[in-house]
Structures are given as C-alpha cells and as structure tokens.
Amino acid sequence: MHGGRPGIALFGGTFDPFHNGHLRMAIEVREGLPLPRVHLVPSAQPPHKPRQPVATARHRYAMAEAAVAGVEGLSVLDLELRREGPSYSLLTVREILAANPGVGVLFLVGADAFQEIPAWHRWEELLAACDFLLLPRPGTPPESAFPAGVRIEKEGDGCYSLPGRTYRLPGGRRLLCPDLPVLDISSRSIREKVRRGRSIRGLVPPEVERHIAAHALYRAEEGG
C-alpha cells in the first residue's frame, strides 16, 4: 500500500489476557482511520517476550474471540496458532500478503513493543514489508519509541482521518502515529490483580472476566 489507503489491519499480541486497552485501541483505530476491519492475531509462542505466556494459546485465543464476538469490524485470526515454532510477525505478514495479492498490511503495535523492534526476527525485512501504526502506551509517547539508528522521516501531519503524524520508514513504508487516548491497562496488571484476588471489572470485557474465573487462570505466582 505504498501511497494508498490502508489494506488489511493486523493487531498482534500475546493477549494474556485480552483487555479493554486492546479493545478500545482496535475500535479507535478502526473507526477513526477508518478501516473496514481489524484482525487480532494472538501469538502462539511470542519470540521476543522475556518469558512465555502464562495462559495457553488456546485460552488466549478463546478470550480474544469471546471479547470481540459481536463487535463490528473486529475479528480474530488463528494463523499463528496453526503454525509450528515461534510466532514471527514477518511470517504472519508474508502469509497475509501471499493470500491477498495486491493488498497492503497495516500492523498495529504498541509504542513499547515498537521500541523493541530491532530485537525482532529479521526486523528490517518486517519494516519493509508493511505499514505500521503506533499505539500510545503510558510513558512511551509514539515518537520516543523510534529505534535509534533507524532513519524515520516525517511525511506530514494527520493519519488518514485521524489527527497525528505520518512518517516514512527505510524501505518506503509508512509509520502512522495517530493521537489516540492513552489507556493505562496492561495484561500484567490484570494477571497481578487476579493473583491477589482483586476485581478486574472494567479492565477486561465481561466475557474475558468470565473465562478467567471459569478456568481459574492467573491464580498462581508467575515465574520470571
């Protein structure tokens, strides 16, 4: 989609568990840009996280799916769950591009995660394979997440119909930094609350809260 409208939007994550920060961001971007659809892509084996997920891939997928059932324009893809080995984003993007010739991919990523991108598998190829949209995280304004040594040039103000800024990545792909609300919710904070017996009402969709309770997830101490 060099130059064109965004194509297929992917929002990858561990989703351990999927929470209202993820949900609101997907909705804000879909309605604001606007996009016909945002696909959530739960990672089976996140290669760049310091530790492996707490809940199984099947539980994490089920929670994301239950959370977006009935939410217009949001759906969950299981392609990383069907693949063997580490869930490299480059493989996912390439799989989507191969299945949809002529269509570009827009990859939604939190600013904290983008900051770590030079540690990702074949990251330079990934930056050249699709467009990116940075989601603000507390303490990490989008522009502060630009990895050092990567030439990122400002292209203009605005991100399609959202206020913000657009940049060019090396290789010519776009990097969108829309002005979106910063939501201070993380999966880690939810896991910790569950472990301590605290309520997570309002932080996760009701379906996720029910799934966590029904399967007694996140009650044990975390390793790492």
Determine the interface stretch with ligand ATP among 11-19, 65-73, 97-105, 154-162 (rule: CB under 6 A): 11-19
Residue 224's Cα: distance from chain center in Å? Answer: 22
Identify the burial level of 12 via C-beta atoms within 10 angstroms of its C-beta, where 0-12 means exposed, 13-18 middle and 19 or more buried.
Answer: buried
Q: For residues 77 and 185, which CB has a smaller minimum distance to ligand ATP in the complex? A: 185
Question: Residue from 6, 7, 21, 104 that binds ligand ATP (CB under 6 A)?
Answer: 21
Q: Which is nearer to ligand ATP, 45 or 186 (CB)?
A: 186
Binding positions for ligand ATP, 67-126, rule CB under 6 A: 109-110, 112-113
Residue 69 sits at the vertex; the CA angle it makes with 33 and 207, to the nearest 5 degrees, is 115
User: Taking Cα atoms as reference points, which of 188, 167, 185 lies closest to residue 177?
Assistant: 167
Minimum CB distance to ligand ATP smaller for 16 or for 209? 16
Task: Check residue 164 for interaction with ligand ATP (CB under 6 A).
Answer: no
Cβ distance to ligand ATP smaller for residue 5 or 188: 188
How many CB atoms are closer than 10 A to CB 8? 22
**Residue 200 CA neighbour count, 13 Å, CB half:** 32
Query: Residues interacting with ligand ATP, by CB under 6 A?
Result: 13-16, 21-22, 25, 109-110, 112-113, 135, 137, 183, 185-188
